Amino acid sequence: MPGHHPARSRRTTERKGDVRERAILDTCEALLADKGYDAMTVGDIAQGAGITRGALYFYFGSKQEVVTALVARTVEHLWERSRATARHDEPRPAVATAMRRTVELWNAHGTVMRTAIDLSLTVPEIGELWSHTADLFIAAITAVLERAGVPPGSEPRQASAMARALCWMIERTFYHASRESPEKLPEAAATCEHIWLISAGLDS
């Protein structure tokens, strides 16, 4: 039945496209770790993904677009972690779980996350992704603080304002720890966890 062939061909093309796009993003992540954003070229990405430059441009219009897509893929993992943190009932284990997962994420994707932070002020799409990610983590931290008895609200001693400060403190602490070495990440987590517990009145 001839009518079935286009559909079968289209599904095959879509699967092949997904594989190629994943290869492009995986290669980009590896090159960011090896060369950095400035030194990495479209040719490097295409070669690493096993395709031509022309084929790469079928998927992405520039190196910046590749990196933006890579950041988008990475922040999906971050969003999953923020939702998981919000589901914990008890504040203390929620904080410990959040810090453990933060270490895992920075170990797995620290290069991409540092690049996202570096580019967030100059690439609007990345800035928006990163800002949205921060808002989700702030909401999750706020929920933990409120469950610990911190009053809701955006005043300096209230949960939302404290969560915002905690979120950006955690980001910068892990950013600098990740730049030093992976071994610094658990130390960063322990420090952030301690400060978060103090903020929640759970440091005893």
Beta carbons within 8 Å of 100's beta carbon, 6+ residues apart: 189
Instruction: Domain ranges for the chain, please list them.
Output: 1-61, 67-204
Chain segment 3-40, per-residue pLDDT in tens: 444 443 434 444 666 889 999 999 999 999 999 999 99
Q: What is the pLDDT of residue 6?
A: 44
Chain segment 52-88, per-residue pLDDT in tens: 999 999 999 999 999 999 999 998 877 776 666 556 6
14: its two tokens? 């879509």
- CA–CA distance from 153 to each of 59, 111, 129, 161, 185 (Å)? 44, 34, 25, 7, 31
At the top level of CATH, the class of 67-204 is: mainly alpha
Q: What is the CATH number of domain 1-61?
A: 1.10.10.60
Confirm if 91 and 147 have CB atoms less than 8 A apart. Answer: yes
Q: What is the pLDDT of residue 15?
A: 61
Buried b (16+ CB within 10 A) or exposed e, 160-194: bbbbbebbeebbebbbebbeeeeebbeebbeebbe
* Termini Cα distance of the chain: 73
Residue with more model confidence, 2 or 195: 195
Q: What is the pLDDT of residue 86?
A: 54
Chain segment 111-164, per-residue pLDDT in tens: 999 999 999 999 999 999 999 999 989 999 999 999 999 999 999 999 999 999
pTM (predicted TM-score): 0.84
The overall longest dimension of the chain from CA atoms, in Å, is 73
